[in-house]
Amino acid sequence: MAYAVPLFAFEVRSVIELVLLVFCLVTEGVALVHALTQRSDAFGAIGTLPKGGWIAILAVCMVLTLPGFGFGVLGIFGLVGIAAALIYLLDVRVGLRDLNDGRGSW
């Protein structure tokens, strides 16, 4: 029986999916830890969801990205999860940093 793809193609796909999974979980974890360490009144000051809302969104998205429990990084929930984490990191985190005059370790 002849294969249309080289025999190592599935191994390459597995490695790529593993790299994407690690990247997504690290990004979602950083966003979740950052949200946990911020003051809750700062979220209202920049006009975004409350702190509890962001923590819930990021935690649920992180759980749904896990391959054993959720649908993996290439599923719809994994893509929504990385989008939520990137929105938090690129928009909300910047607003929180600007609220503190650019000070802070993050």
Residues 6-62: pLDDT tens digits? 778 888 888 998 899 999 999 999 999 999 999 899 898 888 899 999 999 999 999
103 vs 101 pLDDT, higher one: 101
| 99 has a pLDDT exceeding 90 | no
Distance CA(88)–CA(84), nearest Å, equals 6
pLDDT score, position 103: 63
Q: Tell me the DSSP string of 37-93.
A: TS-HHHHHHTTS--HHHHHHHHHHHHHHHSTTTS--TTSHHHHHHHHHHHHIIIIIH
Q: Which residue has the higher pLDDT, 75 or 26?
A: 26
Q: Domain map of the chain by residue range?
A: 24-98
The pLDDT value given to residue 53: 95
- Give residue 69's pLDDT: 67
Residue 66: pLDDT band (50, 70, 90) is confident
Which pair of tokens denotes residue 60?
């649920």
